[in-house]
Amino acid sequence: MKTAIYSGMTSRNQKKPPKTGAAPRRKRSWLIRLIGYGLALTVWGTVGLAGIMAWYAYDLPDIENLERAAGKRAPTVTVKAADGTVLAHYGELYGVAVQLHELPPHLPHAVLAVEDRRFYDHMGVDPIGILRAGWVNLWAGTVRSGGSTISQQLAKNLFLSSDRTVRRKVQELLLAFWLEQRFGKDQILTIYLNRVYFGQGAYGVDAAARRYFNKPAAQVTAYEAAMLAGLLKAPSRYNPLTNPDLAAGRATQVLQSMVEAGWLSKDQAAAAKSGRAVMHSDRLGGQSRHFADWVLDRAQDYISHDGGDLIIHTTLDPRLQRLAESAVAKNLVASKKRKASQAAMVAMRPDGAIVAMVGGASYGASQFNRATQALRQPGSSFKLFVYLTAFESGFRPGDEVEDAPITIDGWSPRNYGGKYRGTVSIRESVARSLNSVAASIAERVGRTKVTATARRLGITSPIGTDPALALGAYEVTLLEMTSAYAVMANGGIGVWPHGITEVSDGEGNILFRRSGGGPGRVVEPEHVAAVNDVLTAAITWGTGKQAKLDRPSAGKTGTSQDSRDAWFIGYTADLITGVWFGNDNNSAMDDVGGGSFPARTWRAFMKPAHEGVAPKPLPGVAAPLSN
């Protein structure tokens, strides 16, 4: 009985048996659904991602011909001085394409150390590098590091723009993967090293090595390699030619990165730092860019450019250019007290070959060339054409003329200071720059003839025939006037001013070579002798005496109304130089005449320019003459 009762009852402490049936099926059902949803999301996510990739990839550039993309670049035009010194590069500068095995190992290692240390371990995109860069930027509170790999950088450089857009970044990633699948690591690194920008217009390691160190990339030292690699972060900031201290500090950081990457030992890094680098600049720099711009513009008249590289060989003499820049700069500083802010100079050989040119106070501040572009009143320096016309009409330097007040069609020219000397020789009237005599003689020989004489000697700017013509009232360029005076220095042969001797392409093929001279004889020898007679007096004891040299020389001052322009143009048998002082806004200077700063600047240049050159007589003049 007890047994029966006991067996029919359930103990309070006994666990109930687990339920079976519906509940387990429901759990399995949710798990299946979860897996199904996951698979669906994965499929649709993949489809969506593929769609997004397709959307960003539909306008990808042509990537099938990497060689064409790698070779595509803007042409380079290099302007060189007479001795081969580089005056300027226009466009992009590329060196010789190099293979990775041709470079010293420390060069690619230096680049990898700072640009993509895990280059050989990733597939085009480096997640670890991206996370590292993000942490560095987060810690710094600003963007200091990027996560782009060399493959990404190459993809951008070859195929894409530098726009900071999501589309460009996604396309960069796609192209990086494509490069990694299509080419080997060494190939990608080789192309990168031949294309990456190092500043100063230099693309590729070879161009950079030649630009900064005057050697091919195969010969750079470990320290030089570190300096080149350091440029990639900020080419302008770490330029060793302009910021040597910053460049040296950056090179030290690169060497330390190479040590951390295991490519250099500490001792090797220390030895590299002790070696340093010998910097080299093959550019003349300074104000020679005014000249370089001028010849670049003129080169277009001589050749038909098909888009390839060009090398323009010029007549400019680097030593004389430096002397010209020094003379102008020194006298400009002094002339600022007299309200003169600009100056220009051009020097040429008797055949018109330009050896020095200064187009203004600073090329960096103004690229306007005041030697070739500025139209200014030449003042009394224009009297060259008046007196040459007179000599061709029968006058002689010793002939007597009257220096007295004169009125022509209501215009009354005045001498400087308002004084008149009465009866004087033509020689004295030129030497003392007497305006009344010049105006009177222009009337006697005819203003139309004076204009024709100016044209014959190379003046191309518009000039008229009103009475003020005799005193240089019409505007001309310094280059024109200097070229005209060169005719007197060479004995009467017409001059075409020029700066180009030869133009060649990037392969060394000659596209243009200057031959022949100017227009031939334009002034007879006896008339040249007469002009040299009076202009020798002007520089020996006349208004240009501050320009006097210890050798035969001649020249003429020129000052426009209210001292808005001050000129001195003079010459020896070897060199003709013109100088101009003034202001771009045509404002008056404070009593600055051609016999002051321009004459002194001329002498400051011409004296050292003739060192080691034997004195030669001017055509037709044996010795300086008195009045």
Instruction: Decide if 130 contacts 172 (C-beta within 8 A).
Output: no
- The pair of structure tokens assigned to 104 is 């010293």
pTM: 0.73
Written out in words, the top-level CATH class of the domain with range 92-275 is: mainly alpha
Superfamily holding 322-609: DD-peptidase/beta-lactamase superfamily (3.40.710.10)
Average of pLDDT values for 25-31?
61
The single-letter code of the amino acid at 166 is: V
pLDDT band of 302, cuts 50, 70, 90: confident
- pLDDT tens digit string along 128-144? 655 665 555 455 555 44
**Sign of the torsion formed by the C-alpha atoms of 610, 87, 351 and 603:** negative
- pLDDT tens digit string along 479-504? 999 999 999 999 999 999 999 999 99
Please return the burial class of 72, using the count of CB atoms within 10 Å of its CB with bins 0-12, 13-18 and 19+. Answer: exposed
- pLDDT tens digit string along 545-595? 999 999 999 999 999 999 999 999 999 999 999 999 999 999 999 999 999
Do 92-275 and 322-609 come out as alike in CATH topology?
no
CA-based nearest residue to 621, from 397, 386, 347: 397
pLDDT of residue 156: 73
The CA angle 375-381-386, to the nearest 5 degrees, is: 110
Every domain of the chain and the residues it spans = 92-275, 322-609
The rounded distance, in Å, linking the Cα atoms of 334 and 351 is 33
- pLDDT tens digit string along 166-225? 555 666 666 767 777 778 889 889 988 988 889 887 889 998 998 888 888 999 999 999
pLDDT of residue 123: 76
Which residue would you say has higher pLDDT here, 140 or 604?
604
What's the mean pLDDT when you consider all of the chain? 85
- The pair of structure tokens assigned to 303 is 């050749």
pLDDT band of 242, cuts 50, 70, 90: confident
